[in-house]
Amino acid sequence: MSLREHALSLFRSAVGTVRPAPMLKRALKLQGEECPQLLVNSRAFPLKRDLYLVGFGKAVLGMAAAAEEILGDHLVRGIINVPLGIQESLQRAGMQEMLLKPHSRIQVIEGAKNNLPDPEALRGASAIQELAEGLTADDLLLVLISGGGSALLPAPIPPILLEEKEKLTKMLASRGAAIQELNAVRKILSLLKGGGLARLAYPAQVVSLILSDVIGDPLDIIASGPTAASSHSIQDCLQILAKYNLLHGLPSSVEAVLSSSPPKPTAAEDYSHVCNVIIGSNTLALAEAKRHAESLGYATLILSAAVCGDVGRVAVLYCQLICLLCLHLASLGEGPRGSEVKGNLLQLAAELDIPGLNMAEFLQALQGMEPQKPVCILAGGETTVQLQGTGKGGRNQELALRVGLGLHRARGVEASSLGRCDVIFLSGGTDGQDGPTDAAGAFCSPELVAEALREGLDAEIFLSNNDSYAFFSHFQRGRHLLVTGLTGTNVMDIQVILIRATDRS
């Protein structure tokens, strides 16, 4: 198998492990006939009670189908809110296993066109609210949550209107608010977000199974934490609105809610009837890819599952890392050039401030790797692209092209090391869709940009117009695009770097 085939296989194994069916089967089990119990990550919940299910998010249809299969007749009733058109898309893609069976006890409501709350999503949220409010101490509510859940569970606190809340969220997003900031505001203005759903379901036992699409897997931010204690106060919300210059000119309904909200969020003790479990995440996906890479014979390290920041700076980080790995394989890592590159990496890591990444420790681990083995570095997260052009692309294709360009430029300086290695870099969105394109991401190598130039394609020109998809589609007829189709899951993006020494020395 070529490096490229290996990279593709690693990406597929990472995504495969966080697909709804395997994920649910790992997390949720039924045990016992006489006194049945629901086992959630080994915690037991007796099923003397009636079992209900609600869910909201882009991956929830497949999660619900898998859950219903496990729960069988124990499930009394369910309601899920999923993106508009998802049933038809999955049907067309031949992904029957992600659809509910014809006589399912789970009602499906589709809404939130273009990932924005709309009257359909509001209708679904009201149905979920009604179900939760009607539960008793004898009931158990299973909640399925995935990314996109915020738009699919809109329940503005009266007198705020849906349009008013949508406009505010849109303005925050267009002014560059991060998902943590956006959802901190959403929580304060919503009945169901920020733990609201769990509070309404009390005294029923609530068990939430969560697929994380946020860096660091924060329970109270993913889908705006409808079953988690919120760590945000009204003061945080006001500060965020002030930061984005939105404090003045708020609709009077929003002002009314802000001024009547309790200053502090509900205390964590009030969620003792809730069990929140992350069942899928970028970290889990990377761990599976690592196992697979090791079985293929690679010395493997995970850089981080929280790589974030400007796509251009992240590309520089990956280029420097690849250069260092090539120096290592050429036994030049401890020389003056190696020290220089390590210094650059430490500086870049400090600048990007990637949560939880200790670059010094990572470099130490890298130094300890056997130089005879091919190397695999895995990473994940979500970069930011500041759109400047009018082209078509996505974060992953832009990142791959930028890494390709960086390696092309480095080839002159690093000929003695880069020239002696085969290198492949892959970046892909785990949902199978990178931006508004039909690709999940792209591959690149140090040779890519020079080869494209020979075909008359200048990567720099495409990048200046954020046109990475056009570049990859034209170059060698799309050979370097990563095309997987919709995967039915989403744990952000994944990067794979594979390097092995060649015999060209």
Ligand X SMILES: O=C(O)[C@H](O)CO
Ligand Y SMILES: Nc1ncnc2c1ncn2[C@@H]1O[C@H](COP(=O)(O)OP(=O)(O)OP(=O)(O)O)[C@@H](O)[C@H]1O
Residues that bind ligand Y (CB under 6 A): 58, 147, 213, 385, 387, 391-395, 398, 429, 431, 433-435, 466, 468, 490
Q: How many residues bind ligand X (CB under 6 A)?
A: 11
Q: How far apart are CA 68 and CA 131, in angstroms?
A: 18
Residue nearer to ligand Y on the CB measure, 300 or 466: 466
Contact 38, 47 (CB under 8 A): yes
Question: Mask: binding to ligand X, 180-219, rule CB under 6 A, as x and -?
Answer: ---x-----------------------------xx-----
Q: Is 129 in the site for ligand X (CB under 6 A)?
A: no
Q: Is 150 in the site for ligand X (CB under 6 A)?
A: yes
Q: Which residues are CB-neighbours of 354 under 8 A, at least 6 positions away?
A: 304, 306, 307, 308, 309, 381
First-to-last C-alpha distance (Å) of the chain: 22
Contacted entry of ligand Y, ligand X, none for residue 395, CB cut-off 5 to 8 Å set by kind:
ligand Y
Contacted entry of ligand Y, ligand X, none for residue 179, CB cut-off 5 to 8 Å set by kind:
ligand X
> Nearest distance from residue 437's CB to ligand Y, in Å?
8
Residue nearer to ligand X on the CB measure, 63 or 424: 63
Q: What is the number of the residue whose Cβ is closest to ligand Y?
A: 393
Torsion sign over Cα 127, 143, 304, 431: negative
The contacts found for 259-265 with CB under 8 angstroms, 24 or more apart, are 261/188, 261/234, 262/234, 263/233, 263/234, 263/235, 264/233, 265/194, 265/195, 265/229, 265/230, 265/231, 265/232, 265/233
Q: How far apart are CA 17 and CA 6, in angstroms?
A: 17
Contact 196, 204 (CB under 8 A): no
Contacted entry of ligand X, ligand Y, none for residue 150, CB cut-off 5 to 8 Å set by kind:
ligand X
Q: How far apart are CA 433 and CA 70, in angstroms?
A: 29
Contacted entry of ligand Y, ligand X, none for residue 149, CB cut-off 5 to 8 Å set by kind:
ligand X
Q: How far apart are CA 383 and CA 495, in angstroms?
A: 11
Q: Is 65 in the site for ligand X (CB under 6 A)?
A: no
> Nearest distance from residue 431's CB to ligand Y, in Å?
5
Contacted entry of ligand Y, ligand X, none for residue 181, CB cut-off 5 to 8 Å set by kind:
none
Contacted entry of ligand Y, ligand X, none for residue 495, CB cut-off 5 to 8 Å set by kind:
none
Q: Is 24 in the site for ligand X (CB under 6 A)?
A: no
> Nearest distance from residue 315's CB to ligand Y, in Å?
12
Residue 456 corresponds to which amino acid? Answer: G
Q: Is 226 in the site for ligand X (CB under 6 A)?
A: no
Residue nearer to ligand X on the CB measure, 198 or 214: 214
Residue nearer to ligand X on the CB measure, 152 or 376: 152
Q: How far apart are CA 2 and CA 426, in angstroms?
A: 13
Residue nearer to ligand Y on the CB measure, 230 or 487: 487
Contacted entry of ligand X, ligand Y, none for residue 214, CB cut-off 5 to 8 Å set by kind:
ligand X
- DSSP letter assigned to residue 270: G
Cβ-in-10-Å burial (0-12, 13-18, 19+) of 36 comes to: middle
Contacted entry of ligand Y, ligand X, none for residue 429, CB cut-off 5 to 8 Å set by kind:
ligand Y
Contact 182, 191 (CB under 8 A): no
> Nearest distance from residue 480's CB to ligand Y, in Å?
16
> Of these, 24, 197, 222, 463, which contacts ligand X (CB under 6 A)?
222
Neighbours of 485 (CB within 10 A): 14
Contacted entry of ligand X, ligand Y, none for residue 433, CB cut-off 5 to 8 Å set by kind:
ligand Y
Q: Is 282 in the site for ligand X (CB under 6 A)?
A: no
Q: Is 156 in the site for ligand X (CB under 6 A)?
A: no
> Nearest distance from residue 358's CB to ligand Y, in Å?
27
Q: Which residues are CB-neighbours of 469 under 8 A, at least 6 positions away?
A: 391, 392, 393, 394, 397, 435, 437, 439
Cis peptide before 265 (omega within 30 of 0): no
**Kindly report the CA angle at 298 between 295 and 299, in degrees rounded to 5?**
115
Q: Is 223 in the site for ligand X (CB under 6 A)?
A: yes
Q: Is 147 in the site for ligand X (CB under 6 A)?
A: yes
Contacted entry of ligand Y, ligand X, none for residue 207, CB cut-off 5 to 8 Å set by kind:
none
Residue nearer to ligand X on the CB measure, 193 or 342: 193
Interface ranges with ligand X (CB under 6 A)? 147-150, 179, 183, 213-214, 222-224
